[in-house]
Amino acid sequence: MINADDVFDVLADTTRRRMLALLMAEDELSVAELCYAIDCSQPKASRHLAKLRDARVVSVRRDRVWKHYRLHPQLPAWAFQVLQTMTHSGEQASMLGRDLNRLATMPDRPIGAEHARATPQSTNVEYLPVRAAPATPNSVTPAPTV
């Protein structure tokens, strides 16, 4: 469950707000794309992304060596509205414009998520965290050996 205090805690930091604004605009971005867009180091970005993951504001998908981040699919409507309002307001909106312009100039930008899902060679996709699927009545569970 997503806690309101956690959401507002992660919004207290400018770097995290910039990352969230980019994810609102671009749907899904790799760590490298986020680092390039906001001009920060990979360790700094990873620390901020970990806080966003812990607050369950973003989710991560691994595709080979790349980690792709997006807004958490179970983000409540109220939290999405807060992010949307933040993204399109004042200073944050102008920062987003600059960050998107910078991202557009990224050399050797990794393949986007939509393209990666459409190509047959990207079958090595793992979503994190991996949750076990619920057992279905037709599934067979092996009997324990004695």
Distance of CA 65 to the CA centre of its chain: 15
Share of the chain above pLDDT 70, in %: 75
Predicted pLDDT of residue 2: 83
Share of the chain above pLDDT 90, in %: 62
- Domain count of the chain? 1
Residue-wise pLDDT for 24-61, tens only, equals 999 999 999 999 999 999 999 999 999 999 999 999 99
Beta bridge partners of 128: 60
Question: Would residue 70 count as lying in a domain?
Answer: yes
- The boundaries of the domain holding residue 68 are 4-128
User: pTM of this prediction?
Assistant: 0.74
Question: Would residue 112 count as lying in a domain?
Answer: yes
Question: Would residue 91 count as lying in a domain?
Answer: yes
Question: Would residue 143 count as lying in a domain?
Answer: no
Question: Would residue 139 count as lying in a domain?
Answer: no
